[in-house]
Amino acid sequence: MSTTGSPGCRMAHALVTDASTDIGRATAIRLAARGSHVFGAVRDDDAAQALRSIGLPRLTPLLVDLGAVENVIRAVERISSHARALDALVHTTQPRGRIPLEVVELADLRRQFELAVVAQLAVTQAMLPLLRAANGRVITVGSMAGRLPVPYRGVHSIAAHSQHALSDVLRQELRGSGVDVVLIEPVIERTDRCSSPWVVADTVVPAFESRRPRASYVCGRHGRALATLAALPPRLRDRLALGVLGLGPMSGMRPVRSRQRAAVPIPAADGA
């Protein structure tokens, strides 16, 4: 990567697409503290002020909702006015929700997919000219659920699987262009969230700074073991994964009734 800012600016430049969230905020802080000029995209004034209050001069809030095409264009213009190129585009939008697929609202599924996958591709397409100019890279914070789906987190798993495929295909298509593509795969913890934001941010650092980054990085507790589990034959993987997650026949699951009056088992609140 190169340092390609405005005249006199010798810093690397990065855009973090959702710096309002825990993972996005931690990532923006970590990269800025290590000397890069980071644009942190946020959706409201409160989030922008929260970033400013950190006191890092290299961390610039970018008040823009990247879920809309016209806003993406505005973000490109804002970054281009300061930097001739972009060294890294870091996607940190995480799909949310914990509900059985049998009763999930389809409108919510569409909305989550739009934010985590379609909007991500739209931003990538818009930023590619700036990334090419810097021989930069696209870094996506996805989820281990992209290769090891988690029951009752179907929306998250589906979106994460799509993010995984998007990164793989984009990496193949951009081979030889100077732009690298990296996937970060945090483990989903029992609290329904991905690994600690700072653990994820510390994994983004080598993906951003390494001369030859790996195609993917797994992070979080038992990450390597879960990656091995994901490679097993599907039915064996299902049995082992359900046991690890405490969702076996004796796991104390309790029923919840959908609007269609169908009893759907979901794990107790302290389960995985």
Specify which residues 5 forms β-bridges with: 83
pTM value? 0.83
Q: What per-residue confidence (pLDDT) applies to 259?
A: 47
Q: What per-residue confidence (pLDDT) applies to 270?
A: 39
Q: What per-residue confidence (pLDDT) applies to 3?
A: 53
Q: What per-residue confidence (pLDDT) applies to 141?
A: 95
Q: Do the Cβ atoms of 194 and 186 come closer than 8 Å? A: yes
Mean pLDDT of the chain: 84
Burial string for 53-85 (b: 16+ CB within 10 Å, else e) reads eeebebbbbbbbbbbeeebbebbbebbeeebbb
Q: What per-residue confidence (pLDDT) applies to 2?
A: 52
Q: Do the Cβ atoms of 21 and 92 come closer than 8 Å? A: yes
Residue in the block written with tokens 């591709």: 121
Q: How far is CA 221 from CA 8, 123, 144, 163, 186, in A?
A: 43, 31, 11, 21, 9
Low-confidence ranges of the chain (pLDDT < 50): 7-8, 191-192, 249-272
Q: What per-residue confidence (pLDDT) applies to 191?
A: 47
Q: Which two tokens stand for residue 98?
A: 């914990």
Cα separation, 171 vs 180, whole angstroms: 6
Q: What per-residue confidence (pLDDT) applies to 66?
A: 81
Encode pLDDT of 215-270 as tens digits. 999 998 778 888 888 888 888 888 887 776 666 543 444 444 444 444 444 444 33
Q: What per-residue confidence (pLDDT) applies to 190?
A: 52
